[in-house]
Amino acid sequence: MKLRTIVLKVNPQYPEPEKIREAAKVIEAGGLVAFPTETVYGLGANALDLKAVLRIYEAKKRPPDNPVITHVAHKEDVYRLAREVPDDAEKLMDAFWPGPLTLLLKKARDVPRPGGLDEITIRMPANKIALALIAASKPIAAPSANLSGRPSPTTAEHVLQDLDGRIEMVLDGGPTEIGVESTVLDMTSKPYRILRPGGVTLEDLRRILRDVEVHPAALAKAPTDLAKAPGMKYRHYAPKAPMILVEGKPEDVVRKVKEIAKEHEGEVIGIMATEETAGSYDIGIVKVVGRRSEPRSIARNLFKTLREFDQLGVKLIIAEGMEEKGIGLAISNRLRKAAGYNIINATEGEKG
């Protein structure tokens, strides 16, 4: 049944209480509300209502074994949702919450989870609209507010492109700030491992805890069957057109991108470039995703740029790879998955 999706524009700095109450009523009634966070827009349901959480999977066409993150407004909520909260988790919450860090913990026995999972992922978003909505209702389960596999939404318009008529409400709080999802850290065993890189970097975490590693699956160089956290097992963030990711030294990347573009001359192709390299290309539709010297600008624009290529109807996207340093690890993860692991290393001459 097609729903009427209501869109409410909300002041991102001073969320209007009456609009938050209206959205909270939808959540409490078992409905779905898309809302902004600092990372991407989330699709929220009452995390303690299994039937409501399963509606998220239906609306997104999400695989049933792909877990969703539970969002809280108060640190105390973690102790109701998780049965084991290590002291190190306290240190990370104090350092990074509210913010783009998700902790994977052992769930409390009375917390429902799709598929009977024994673990729960929890975070506190750094967004006033999100925190107001959670505080006005209950802990909210919320993956990204897009059809499964598509580029994540960083504006309310992106949400509507995918989910108009499939959910009850969208809170429009303007574009998100970070642009890629939160970091997911598995704290159920040591060493702690990043399962999905995101807005809090490995370097950030190691300033608080030394015992942190990157799970090999988080590098996204090849498919994995592991589904402990969102974004691990399945293809994600994908544009409609096939995509080739070219990695390596910047000068080698530019050379290889031009070479591939020449091979597809006459076709409508898109090139995702950086501000430093865009002037090197005289073929295809070139879009600047950000600056290599400021990688957070690339993260902020990544999904928006992929969706723009969709709207232009390109038949192939060739994207420049990024250095796996700082937030560059999260950007690389998203690009590799968006490309379906169709990766060329221009420096080493290898294809993955």
- pLDDT tens readout for residues 90-107: 999 999 999 999 999 999
Average pLDDT of the residues in 60-82: 94
- Statement: residue 352 has pLDDT above 60: no
* Mean per-residue pLDDT, 289-312: 97
User: Is 0.85 topped by the overall pTM?
Assistant: yes
Going by pLDDT thresholds of 50, 70 and 90, the confidence category of residue 83 is very high
CA–CA distance, 239 with 150 (Å, rounded to integer): 6
What percent of the chain clears pLDDT 70, i.e. is strictly above it? Answer: 96
Return residue ranges of the chain for CATH 3.40.50.11030. Answer: 243-351
Q: Tell me what pLDDT residue 234 has.
A: 60
**What's the CA gap between 151 and 303, in Å, rounded?**
5
C-alpha–C-alpha distance, residues 251 and 209, integer Å: 36
pLDDT band at 320 (very low <50, low <70, confident <90, very high): very high
DSSP designation for 72: -
Hey, which CATH number is domain 6-219, 3.40.1280.10, 3.90.870.10, 1.10.3720.10, 3.40.50.300? 3.90.870.10
Average pLDDT, integer, range 233-257 = 91
Mean pLDDT of 288-293: 97
| Residue 115: pLDDT band with limits 50, 70, 90 | confident
Res 59 pLDDT > 70: yes
Q: How many CB atoms lie within 10 A of CB 315?
A: 12
* Stretch(es) of the chain classified as CATH 3.90.870.10: 6-219
Q: For 196-210, what is the mean pLDDT?
A: 97
State the average pLDDT over residues 18-37: 98
CATH of domain 243-351: 3.40.50.11030
What's the pLDDT at 66? 86
Tens-digit pLDDT profile for residues 133-158: 999 998 999 999 999 999 999 999 99
The gap from C-alpha 206 to its chain's centroid, in whole angstroms, comes to 22
CA atoms 38, 39, 44, 49: torsion sign: negative
pLDDT (average), residues 57-72: 93
pLDDT category at 225 given cuts 50, 70, 90 is low
Mean confidence (pLDDT) of the chain? 94
* Residue in 89, 40, 77, 91 with CA at minimum distance from that of residue 230: 40
Asked whether the predicted pLDDT for residue 233 surpasses 90, the reply is no
- Mean pLDDT in residue range 54-75: 94
Alpha helices in 3-107 (DSSP H): 17-28, 50-60, 78-81, 87-96
